[in-house]
Structure 1
């Protein structure tokens, strides 16, 4: 029996990650019965790409109740802008519907509490699509920790690098406004915090952090001209902007990748979505988020995380080390080898026993987005979790809440100059992970 799905937020991510595979790969298990978005042009773009959706109902943000009444979905998929997630999730739970939501589940700890409380009263359940968990290298790390190979986890070092193409894109778009995205310690780092939480199986308790806006905003050192309201497409000093000229030529403008609110699409390549441009100036004074963080997180079973992230670097990837009472594992990944200006090696995992010989583990690669994680995540969502897997991997609302709670605690600590407890961010203690 096919389940019926309503899509709330007809973004590029919704179309590419969910709607396309549902129609092509999982058509026997799924049926798209409704599209909801603030911009009717998104419905048009989606249906031109997939004409088989021609008869699917279209709804605006204020028509959620009518959508449910008319289309009777079993599941709501939430893939709009981050600040819209909590509204649709809670509305769906109040109608006893299941929810699949993109990360971050919400943008504040307070909104996470609303979701947790609504789910407790509902017959519906929330699933958060943390696809990073599904990358083969990441599942192998989970298996190594579970096997006891490094013993009890004592500390984690995670340094995340975002290159000048990807990093600057957050400051050209809606992500640069904290009230919409929650800031990058939530919008981006919640992915990283969830990975650590899942790998080590411990609950984050407290965070202390420093953060700054070093590269972007009006005080950015490479700002060619202090002036608000500029856009790359029409800027008179864009050829003096290193971030622009690194990725563009005089005859070809930079194409901004935006999973959630992209302005250019393959069906209507010259048309922008209504009232939205993804090429706002990275030096604008409305930017109110940070581009650099260094943080320490303490966990309930004693582990300590040392974490940093930087959104303006020459290459993209991360360095990870997990230490335990029996040994240590290390790995380094480049996310975007096509953009890295020098050769990179295939990612491996190095295991160092506390006493003994080093081992290097070569992990079999898989095709697909997010390091091969997306296709397997979709199978779990639409076919059910793989019964051969010996551990939980699909994320629920508690996982979503603790990743966001950690991100908000990091930001609060930056502002307040003191450690911040995650349960305080989430209003009250939640069930242990």
Structure 2
């Protein structure tokens, strides 16, 4: 029986880890401790899953006490992004394994601290990059491994976040760089990890442009220059296009989203303590960007042209991978219930350099992140699938490369110069254990 301590009893922790453990993997796994700064989160967790009723609860300063009293094998870190590093380092110091939500940390410097600690610990770090597990993404990996595209030379990836999902980041703590690292880390680390994994190449140098074009007090759709508003009580919300797009005058719409509203508990009232997910997207304190374009150079010669926009009419991405033998293309429309037009089922188009196009239909699966979450959870709680012929779980090196690329993006925007990954990580990347 493996024992888990949960650090950060967030919606993500409850929906992604606690719920599957108690509902599907309880024969071999159990939660033995909950740790969070907000006791209200313990209450919500208990109401969501009565199995947590007698699980001991701890505050952040009681980490050592938690480990001593509950003796966990693995620490799951799903707290606010900037706190990940503290829990990971404490766990590694005690030779415990760690499962951490992406991003592994919010700065390359903290990623370096984690890798250094892991190198001297008996514990190992696993980063839950669930986008790798989507059936479309694993099939792309397989096509590359089969040699369909040959040596990868360039990648085009354009990611679109719709006005519902995109604006949500600017209503929450994510909008402050000191908490999230910015969206080039919190969100784009997913995307950069996919490219690193597909290509088996390491990012070397980045140049980027970007800015805050939609949100913040200078946002062109700001109905009134005034800080401190909240959507639930805002006097001008009916003049806000972002609000009226997703809400009527009398009620908020129930919108399906992989990232928001994970936990629905009957009988719970109010928000978490000191947590407001409806802060105004036009506040002047917003300190991150909402749009990026970037060029990334990799150690084996591949070039990535990347863009992401957090205020688009629909959600999804367009991908092209070019190589010496062919090209892969795919387009995804995410959250079709939020797309204002009919969307086709996602397929993969393969174009040999000389020959006829092939369209590949992939078996789609239920579950979050394109069906990736359930497969990731099986690897975490049952062990890695022995029939899969390639590695897929991510380690600290993967987490560091993704975070460092994201940091290089926003630093390049701010400093108007190319940024080298080795300068951010300050050393050559260590070999994974």
State the Cα distance separating 1:11 from its structure 2 match: 0.6
* Residues 119-138 of structure 1 mapped to structure 2, 5 A cutoff: 119-138=118-137
Q: Contact 2:161 / 2:310 at 8 angstroms: preserved in 1?
A: yes
Partner residue in 1 for 2:286: 287
Q: Contact 1:150 / 1:325 at 8 angstroms: preserved in 2?
A: yes
Give SS of 2:112's match: helix
State the Cα distance separating 1:269 from its structure 2 match: 4.2
Distance 1:259 1:374 in 2: 10
Distance 2:40 2:260 in 1: 12
Normalised to the residue count of structure 2, the TM-score between the two structures is 0.97
Partner residue in 2 for 1:325: 324
Q: Are the structure 2 counterparts of residues 279 and 344 from structure 1 closer, same or farther at C-alpha, using a change threshold of 3 Å?
A: same
Give SS of 2:306's match: strand
Partner residue in 2 for 1:171: 170
Q: Deviations over 1:356-387 (max 9, x none)?
A: 00000000111111101011101101111111
State the Cα distance separating 1:267 from its structure 2 match: 3.2
* Residues 60-209 of structure 1 mapped to structure 2, 5 A cutoff: 60-209=59-208
State the Cα distance separating 1:431 from its structure 2 match: 3.3
State the Cα distance separating 1:268 from its structure 2 match: 3.7
Q: Contact 1:352 / 1:359 at 8 angstroms: preserved in 2?
A: yes
Q: Contact 2:104 / 2:399 at 8 angstroms: preserved in 1?
A: yes
Q: Deviations over 1:110-165 (max 9, x none)?
A: 10011001101100000000000000000000000111101000000000000000
Q: Which runs of 4+ in 1 moved over 2 A?
A: 253-265, 267-270
State the Cα distance separating 1:255 from its structure 2 match: 6.4
Q: Which moved more, 1:288-297 or 1:246-255?
A: 246-255
Distance 2:331 2:175 in 1: 28
Q: Contact 2:3 / 2:32 at 8 angstroms: preserved in 1?
A: yes
Give SS of 1:235's match: coil
Distance 1:309 1:80 in 2: 25
Q: Contact 1:204 / 1:406 at 8 angstroms: preserved in 2?
A: yes
Q: Contact 1:11 / 1:261 at 8 angstroms: preserved in 2?
A: no
Distance 2:366 2:261 in 1: 24
Partner residue in 1 for 2:395: 396
Q: Deviations over 1:89-121 (max 9, x none)?
A: 000000000000000000000100110011011
Q: Are the structure 2 counterparts of residues 257 and 417 from structure 1 closer, same or farther at C-alpha, using a change threshold of 3 Å?
A: farther
Q: Deviations over 1:209-248 (max 9, x none)?
A: 0011000001100111000111111111100000000000
Distance 2:309 2:269 in 1: 33
Partner residue in 1 for 2:233: 234
State the Cα distance separating 1:9 from its structure 2 match: 0.4
Partner residue in 2 for 1:305: 304
Give SS of 2:102's match: coil
Normalised to the residue count of structure 1, the TM-score between the two structures is 0.97
Q: Mind listing any 5+ residue stretches in structure 2 that lack a counterpart?
A: none
Distance 1:147 1:139 in 2: 12
Distance 2:309 2:146 in 1: 32
State the Cα distance separating 1:52 from its structure 2 match: 1.9
Partner residue in 2 for 1:32: 31
Q: Deviations over 1:17-67 (max 9, x none)?
A: 111110111111101100000001111111122112221100001000000
Q: Contact 1:183 / 1:289 at 8 angstroms: preserved in 2?
A: yes
Q: Does 1:352 align with 2:324?
A: no
Q: Contact 1:9 / 1:79 at 8 angstroms: preserved in 2?
A: yes
Q: Give RMSD over aligned pairs.
A: 1.5
Give SS of 1:289's match: coil
Partner residue in 1 for 2:4: 5
Partner residue in 2 for 1:416: 415
Distance 1:346 1:92 in 2: 43
State the Cα distance separating 1:270 from its structure 2 match: 2.8
Distance 2:310 2:390 in 1: 33
